[in-house]
């Protein structure tokens, strides 16, 4: 397997103004801090974590939708963080994103045909019989009827709008697609349709996905490997079955234990096994020293408060950043 995306030392700080009117200072919000990550060609890498952990920011950095503060991102061997305007535009054809909110992501004044065609225009195509045919073809691939072409977004349900968003992302035939919480705004009965569709399209078009979500069961279902993020850091990456069967990082363990049981008969066990994670995620403006998870970790040791744990490889292909495993 070849590596499609290789990120090293990727960091993103957002400047945030704090303090009163007279003592205004700028404190960086450390959304993503020194992250290394590989995405292999043709795989789905799941990225999970709680809100505010930086998973969406990382997804956007990997396709340079926002600029990095430090670090590099190789896309098929080319560092996209330093590309000039023209080269970047060319590279963007290969990397696209599907957004969470199917209501906010589509221009309500444009017809579905124009929405899906717009990326082609941006990359120099003209409206022609050929582009129209490829839009119609794309719509049928995502399961929308051809009569959808002249309609407007408000005429569609949430699930259908997400299909439109997927069609727009795939019309340029990208190689890499960041799926940023693509099903979390949808009704549960519709989620499965979109998850199945994303898998089918991946096979047909040979896509590579970064699948960002907070729902661990959906991520397990769709991913080949899963990365777990906490407060701007990746704490563990593993093949999905390994990760869910034997999570190594205490945060991964707590996250999996917090998922509601799937049958009431497992309830008692679920509660006994649940390592209650007390407290909330600390502020990314003042992340804890050492290991960022040490304030909530049930296995915290003195070293955790002082030193940041190195990323180790306890078994081949598996990474964890925890002093328990270093």
Other Cβ atoms closer than 10 A to 242: 15
Site for other proteins in 109-168 (CB under 8 A): 157-160
Report if residue 25 touches other proteins, rule: CB under 8 A: no
Site for other proteins in 49-88 (CB under 8 A): 50-51
Report if residue 267 touches other proteins, rule: CB under 8 A: yes
Report if residue 191 touches other proteins, rule: CB under 8 A: yes
Report if residue 192 touches other proteins, rule: CB under 8 A: yes
Residue with tokens 């940041």: 308
| Closest listed residue to residue 299, CA positions, set 256, 264, 250 | 250
Report if residue 278 touches other proteins, rule: CB under 8 A: yes
Residue 151: its H or E element: none
Report if residue 199 touches other proteins, rule: CB under 8 A: yes
Residue with tokens 């679920």: 270
Report if residue 285 touches other proteins, rule: CB under 8 A: no
Report if residue 257 touches other proteins, rule: CB under 8 A: yes
Report if residue 272 touches other proteins, rule: CB under 8 A: no
Query: Least separation, in Å, of the C-beta of 66 and other proteins?
Result: 23
Report if residue 1 touches other proteins, rule: CB under 8 A: no
Q: Which of 132, 151, 220, 299 binds other proteins (CB under 8 A)?
A: 220
**C-alpha–C-alpha distance, residues 269 and 23, integer Å:** 53
**Non-local CB neighbours of 259 within 8 Å, separated by 6+ positions:** 216, 217
| Closest listed residue to residue 325, CA positions, set 254, 235, 219 | 235
Report if residue 7 touches other proteins, rule: CB under 8 A: no
Q: Which of 187, 204, 306, 313 binds other proteins (CB under 8 A)?
A: 187
* φ, ψ (nearest 5 deg) of residue 40: -85, 150
Q: Which of 3, 140, 146, 196 binds other proteins (CB under 8 A)?
A: 196
Query: For other proteins, how many residues bind (rule: CB under 8 A)?
Result: 46
Residue closer to other proteins by CB (options 103, 118) is: 103
**C-alpha–C-alpha distance, residues 30 and 46, integer Å:** 22
Pairing of strands 225-230, 233-239: antiparallel
Residue closer to other proteins by CB (options 81, 202) is: 202
Residue 85: its H or E element: helix 85-92
Continuous H helices in the chain: 55-62, 85-92, 112-122, 129-141, 158-170, 188-205, 216-222, 240-245, 250-258, 267-273, 302-306
Q: Which of 258, 285, 300, 324 binds other proteins (CB under 8 A)?
A: 258
Site for other proteins in 230-249 (CB under 8 A): 241, 244
Q: Which residues of 8-29 are buried (b: 16+ CB within 10 A; e: fewer)?
A: eebbbbeeeeeeeeeeeeeeeb
Site for other proteins in 293-312 (CB under 8 A): none
**C-alpha–C-alpha distance, residues 17 and 292, integer Å:** 23
Positions that interact with other proteins (CB under 8 A): 50-51, 157-160, 187-193, 195-196, 199, 214, 216-218, 220-221, 241, 244, 254-267, 270-271, 274, 276-278, 280-281
């Amino acid at each position: 397997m070849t590596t499609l995306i290789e990120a090293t030392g990727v960091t993103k700080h957002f400047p945030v103004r704090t303090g009163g009117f007279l003592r205004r200072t700028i404190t960086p919000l450390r959304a993503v801090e020194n992250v290394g990550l590989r995405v292999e060609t043709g795989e789905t890498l799941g990225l999970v974590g709680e809100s505010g952990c930086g998973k969406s920011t990382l997804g956007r950095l990997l396709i340079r939708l926002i600029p990095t503060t430090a670090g590099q991102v190789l896309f098929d061997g080319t560092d996209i963080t330093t590309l000039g305007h023209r080269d970047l535009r060319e590279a963007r054809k290969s990397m696209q994103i599907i957004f969470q909110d199917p209501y906010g992501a589509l221009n309500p004044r444009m017809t579905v045909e124009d929405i899906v065609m717009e990326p082609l225009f941006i990359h120099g195509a003209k409206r022609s019989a050929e582009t129209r045919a490829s839009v119609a073809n794309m719509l049928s691939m995502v399961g929308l009827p051809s009569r959808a072409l002249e309609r407007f977004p408000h005429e569609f349900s949430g699930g259908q709008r997400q299909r439109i968003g997927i069609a727009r992302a795939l019309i340029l035939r990208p190689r890499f697609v960041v799926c940023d919480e693509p099903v979390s705004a949808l009704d549960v009965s519709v989620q499965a349709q979109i998850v199945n569709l994303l898998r089918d399209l991946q096979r047909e078009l040979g896509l590579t996905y970064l699948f960002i979500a907070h729902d661990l069961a959906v991520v397990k279902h769709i991913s080949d490997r899963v990365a777990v993020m906490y407060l701007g850091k990746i704490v563990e990456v593993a093949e999905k079955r390994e990760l869910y069967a034997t999570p190594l990082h205490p945060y991964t363990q707590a996250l999996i234990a917090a998922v509601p049981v799937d049958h009431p008969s497992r309830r008692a066990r679920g509660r006994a096994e649940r390592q209650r994670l007390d407290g909330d995620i600390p502020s990314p403006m003042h992340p804890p020293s050492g290991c960022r998870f040490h304030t909530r970790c049930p296995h915290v040791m003195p070293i955790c408060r002082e030193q940041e744990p190195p990323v180790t490889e306890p078994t081949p292909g598996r990474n964890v950043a925890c002093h328990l495993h270093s």
